[in-house]
Structure 1
Amino acid sequence: MEYMALVKRLDPHVEEEVTVEIEGVEFTGFAFICPYEIEVGQKYPVSIGFTILDEFKVREIYENEKELERLDQGFGYCIRGLLDENSINAGIIILDEDEYFADYPDLIGKYVEMEVDRISIEFLEKGIHEEL
């Protein structure tokens, strides 16, 4: 799913670290694809995914929660939301491009939480950024 993301912060030390706001949800992600220079205060078209570096686990939760909770000061997040076949709705839709959710068919349509090593932000080439 494509969104327009407002760039809130660029890390001066880690080039790929960017804090964005999408539909009222603010988070810090890893800009793994960025085909142009981005600026704080501008909006850009993006797609959101996640990266798992080690073991992936999903567990059902019994609260109807949708949130992104940052773990420490790194890129890691606990994502809570409604699981779909190829995405999770955590207030914004985060895509499962590597088909991790295929291993959890019994959790589709349920609220879950999972820890990811980073939320990936792909800045798309479509469109021109908008000034606020």
Structure 2
Amino acid sequence: MVYTALVKRLDPQIEEEVTIEIDGIEFTGFAFICPYKIEVGKSYSVLIGFTILDELMIREIQGEKKEIERIGLGYEYYIRGLLHEDTIDVGIVFTDEDEYFSAYPKLMDKHVEIKVDRISIEFLRTTTD
């Protein structure tokens, strides 16, 4: 799903690190595709995803939480929301590009918590101001 993201912060040391806000949800991710120079305070069209380096850690949770929670000062996050066949709705929708969720049919349409190693951000060629 394409979102309009406001760039809140660019890391001066780590070129790919960017903090954005989408629909009131702020998080830091890695701009793995960025075909142009981005600036703080401007909005851009983006796609978002997640990266799992080792194994997927997913569990059902009680309640109807939809949130993204950073773990410590690193890049890991807990994303909590409603799991679907190829997406998780956490207030914004993350698509499961690597088909991790298909291994968890019993958790479909339930609220879950997933631990991800980082959030990926793809800046699209169309910009919005």
- Shorter-chain TM band: over 0.9
Alignment deviations for residues 9-53 of structure 1 (CA, whole Å, 9 cap, x no partner): 000111011000000100001111111100000000000100000
Between the aligned partners of 1:111 and 1:12, the Cα distance in structure 2 is 37
TM-score in terms of structure 2 length: 0.97
Gaps of 5+ in 2: none
Between the aligned partners of 1:73 and 1:39, the Cα distance in structure 2 is 23
Give the % identical residues.
64
Return structure 1 stretches of 4+ with deviation > 6 angstroms. none
Aligned residues: 129
Instruction: State the partner residue of 1:8.
Output: 8
Between the aligned partners of 2:48 and 2:10, the Cα distance in structure 1 is 17
Q: Post-superposition shift, 1:87? A: 0.9
Instruction: State the partner residue of 2:128.
Output: 129
1:3 is aligned with what amino acid? Y
Instruction: State the partner residue of 1:28.
Output: 28
The alignment partner of 1:102 has SS state of: helix
The answer on 1:109 being equivalent to 2:109 is yes
The alignment partner of 1:128 has SS state of: strand
Between the aligned partners of 1:24 and 1:39, the Cα distance in structure 2 is 19
Gaps of 5+ in 1: none
Instruction: State the partner residue of 1:89.
Output: 89
